[in-house]
Amino acid sequence: MKEVTEYKVIRIQGEDLKIAMTLAENVTNAKGNILMPIGYVIEDVKRVQSFLKQHKIKSLGIRVPVIKEVTEEKKKEQPAKKRTKAPERVTYEPQYAEDLSQYKTHVSRQKKALQRDFDRILKGAEIASLNLEKSIERVIKNAQKRKSNPFQLIESSKDLDDMVYNHCHNVVLISYYLGKWLDLSEKRLNELTLTAALHDIGKLKVDPEYLKAEKMSEEEALELKKHAIYSHAIVKGDSYVDEQIKRAILLHHENVDGSGFPFGLKRDKIPLYSRIIAIADTYNDLTSKRPFNAKKNPLEALKHLETELMDKLDVELLLVFLNKLSTCFIGQKVGLSTGDVGEIVFVPKQYSWRPMIKLEKNGKVLDLRDSQNEKVQIDIFY
């Protein structure tokens, strides 16, 4: 019998990467920013190789197991594994429950208001004649006056989420805060949030069944991708909407590596507003129940953004988003896979999705980065 008892580190060239290899060190760019964290498991070899080439990284450290033989005598000495019963789930009243309930009521009203505005725009109404910008202002002010931070608020209203109206509502809020973190002027923030509000209006021109489909034919997938073009076409003739807003709406699904749509543009050709909305749009989709993916909690979404999408999204903007967003969840009540309830008390810069949690039952602080806690997962955000 063979057993893994320890690991060693080897250096390999990017071209020698194999699937399932695990990084033994952080991969950083020239500025020292972490592109792929230690412990990252290689799943898509070609994509990672392309990413390394893009950042001119030639070699990297890989963790490999040291295999040792285990004799039959040694095997007998090992205690038999006991079956563990699934822990009972502890229920917990959400923090600021009344405040969150009021927020959800407001979101429901804003969703209906946005639907009315979109219907009028599709019928030819000029955006200047609507209260769309006032509605956007109400969305932001409603979040600002709450006790919970905006990302906790968004998480609390996910049962209201859809592919168009509530999605645009959330993308407005996420884009606004990322824009604030980037120190955009008030004028640019207003332009950014109007872009975010209108970016997916073109989905209303797509067959509704496509928005519900778990699997689509190539032809159907191409039709769904056209929603960015449809969104642009809807606002193109409106003289009230600035040209850079129209262009940003058209290009919000472009990726910095050139793999996006509709034109396959690369970073320097993609407008700033489009790059910001791409991050907001992706985060909201990751944390929502969608036909094409299971809902992730916010920290799982952070992990996915950091380990899977660094080559698709603007790295500099994404790092600002990840660093700022992770600290938003300090104080957040969470339910663990052990059945315990705790409070996030510290979020590390590396492995931000594995924070330190103070358990409610005994006050003990659990560091999810420790190897002894590697099987403990955050299941619920309260």
* Token duo for residue 312: 């698709």
pLDDT of residue 194: 98
Same domain, 8 and 136: no
Same domain, 12 and 158: no
Closest to 23 measured CA to CA, from 4, 304, 68, 12: 12
Any domain includes 218: yes
Same domain, 31 and 124: no
CATH number for the domain harbouring residue 62:
3.90.105
CB-CB neighbours of 246 under 10 Å: 20
Same domain, 250 and 369: no
Whether the per-residue pLDDT at 367 is higher than 80: the answer is yes
Whether the per-residue pLDDT at 82 is higher than 60: the answer is no
Same domain, 233 and 254: yes
Same domain, 251 and 374: no
Any domain includes 31: yes
Percent of the chain with pLDDT over 90: 55
Domain termination residue (choose one: 312, 328, 344): 328
Distance CA 365, CA 356 (A): 6
* Cis peptide bond upstream of 262, omega within 30: yes
Domain with 64 in it = 2-70
Whether the per-residue pLDDT at 250 is higher than 60: the answer is yes
Count of the separate structural domains present in the chain: 3
pLDDT of residue 42: 82
Whether the per-residue pLDDT at 23 is higher than 90: the answer is no
Residues 338-351, mean pLDDT to the nearest whole number: 90
Same domain, 22 and 38: yes
Domain termination residue (choose one: 11, 35, 70): 70
3 state SS of 178: helix
Beta-ladder partners of 334:
342, 381
* Token duo for residue 330: 């300090």
Distance CA 264, CA 208 (A): 26
- Cα separations in angstroms, 281 against 47, 149, 211, 237, 305: 22, 19, 15, 25, 12
Distance of CA 59 to the CA centre of its chain: 28
Q: Helices in 32-149 by DSSP H: which ranges?
A: 45-54, 72-77, 97-122, 132-144
Which pLDDT tens digit goes with each residue over 280-307?
999 999 999 888 788 999 999 999 998 8
pLDDT band at 5 (very low <50, low <70, confident <90, very high): very low
Whether the per-residue pLDDT at 26 is higher than 90: the answer is no
**Total residues belonging to the chain:** 382
Same domain, 195 and 248: yes
Any domain includes 75: no
- Is the whole-model pTM more than 0.85? no
pLDDT band at 73 (very low <50, low <70, confident <90, very high): low
Percent of the chain with pLDDT over 70: 88
Same domain, 157 and 258: yes
pLDDT band at 25 (very low <50, low <70, confident <90, very high): confident
Q: Cα–Cα–Cα angle for 224, 230, 234, nearest 5°?
A: 155
Distance CA 105, CA 342 (A): 27
Contact in structure between 296 and 287 (CB atoms under 8 Å)? yes
Range among 56-65, 142-151, 166-175, 218-227 with highest mean pLDDT value: 166-175
DSSP state of 163: S
Q: What interhelical angle do 227-236 and 97-122 show, nearest 10?
A: 70
3 state SS of 153: helix
Phi and psi dihedrals of 34, rounded to 5? -75, 120
Same domain, 358 and 257: no
pLDDT of residue 171: 97
pLDDT of residue 158: 87
